[in-house]
Amino acid sequence: MGIAGCLVLPWKCLVVVALRLLFLVPAGVPARSGDSYLKDNITVRQGDSAVLKCNVDSKVSRVAWLNRTTILFTGSEKWSLDPRVVLLNNTAVTEYSIKILDVNLHDEGPYVCSILTNKKPESTKVHLIVQVPARIVNISRDITVNEGSNISLMCLAIGRPEPSIIWKYHSARGQRFVSEGEYVEMTAITKEQSGSYECISSNDISPPDVRTVQVTVNYPPVISRARSTGTPVGQRGVLQCEASAVPLADFQWYKEDRRLFNGLNGVKIENKGKQSMLIFFNVSEADYGNYTCVAMNTLGITNASIILYGAGVMHDVNSAAPSPLSSFHPMLILILFYLSRF
């Protein structure tokens, strides 16, 4: 109660002062769970209810519940304006207990049950401890970087007791690694380190709080499949080229040094994701020879040579002829590629 309240209701201020003097209640003195004059601790989770018990007997003439700065109840009369604080229907004559509903952090602190017996004041003192489930309050956003970059992931959490933080890594290959602490630092990141990074915050008060950061690593194309094929004259033939890249690679096909276009000269180019196919509807003798698959994205360019040969012709596919484009400077190929798109 402030000064203004005392001017309006001076009698009530006098009652408050009298109660504090009568029950020897220390006003405004902070107390912690480790203070020696506290009789007991009560620990509850945020949002739960707390019951503060006080044992009395028939010789008690006056009783009251107080916290550090407020009188909550005197006898059965409620002084607190907080609707969450209620006096229990104490069926036992020897009990005078209150209940605090939906406990929050502001409720934490010392509580005193003051008793007057034959003009001799006594008190039962307890300290209410509020535990707060771990909760992630700030975490890095999903990130996309180029291979070779340095990155830092952050995950901040609150809770009481202080929560622990563990990072887990999940990749497409199922790889996992565990790191403790709020930050994960990675230098010269590789494409193998792309994937999902999971932050787990826990303090054993409730199930862990889990959030995820997706890390995408851009890298230039790497051709993983380019196999030569034998097809008889008059049959349908397919040359396949597969390239891993982020972002996905664009493909071009060449025969010798001549670029091939979809739908011309009896061929079809079909691109699906990281795979490109050069399809011959009706293979002729003129179609046999060396073909080049070119894969590129904004980070780089690569190519591979593939041979289409007649069925029954012995070919060492592991020693395919060098690509006619292999002698070109990569930057020149890149320029030609982008010019062809306009």
The series of mean pLDDT values per 10 residues for the chain, 342 residues long, is 41 43 36 39 92 81 88 92 89 80 93 84 90 96 97 96 94 80 95 94 94 96 92 93 96 93 89 95 93 96 94 48 46 50 48
For the chain, the first-to-last Cα distance in angstroms comes to 79
Q: Point out the domain boundary residue: 131, 149, 175.
A: 131
Is residue 6 in some structural domain? no
Last residue of a domain, one of 105, 131, 157: 131
Do 238 and 320 fall within a single domain? yes
**Could you tell me if residue 81 is inside a domain?**
yes
Give the pLDDT of residue 54: 87
pLDDT at 141: 97
Separation of CA 130 from chain center: 25
Q: Are residues 279 and 320 in the same domain?
A: yes
Say if residue 206 is in the same domain as residue 242.
Answer: no
Give DSSP secondary structure letters for 129-181: EEEEEEEEEEEPPPEEEETT--EEEEEEEEEESPPEEEEEEE-TT----EEES
Domain for residue 3, yes or no? no
How many structural domains compose the chain? 3
What is the domain range of residue 329?
228-339
Is residue 26 domain-shared with residue 81, that is, in the same domain? yes
Evaluate whether residue 335 is within a structural domain: yes
CATH code (residue 90)? 2.60.40.10
Cβ-based neighbours of 24, under 8 Å, separated by 6 or more: 114, 121, 123
Predicted local confidence at residue 91, as pLDDT: 58
Neighbours of 192 (CB within 10 A): 13
Which pLDDT score is estimated for 259? 94
Helix (H) or strand (E) run with residue 264 in it: none
Question: Does one domain contain both 127 and 147?
Answer: no
pTM of this structure: 0.68
Let me know if residue 164 belongs to a domain. yes
Q: Are residues 37 and 85 in the same domain?
A: yes
Do 73 and 158 lie in a common domain?
no
**Where among 79, 109, 131 does a domain terminate?**
131
Asked whether residue 70 is domain-assigned, the answer is: yes
Do 103 and 147 belong together in one domain? no
Do both 277 and 238 map to the same domain?
A: yes
pLDDT score of 94: 76
- Asked whether residue 4 is assigned to any structural domain, the reply reads no
- Asked if residue 200 and residue 168 are part of one domain, the reply reads yes
Residues 182 and 240 both lie in one domain: no
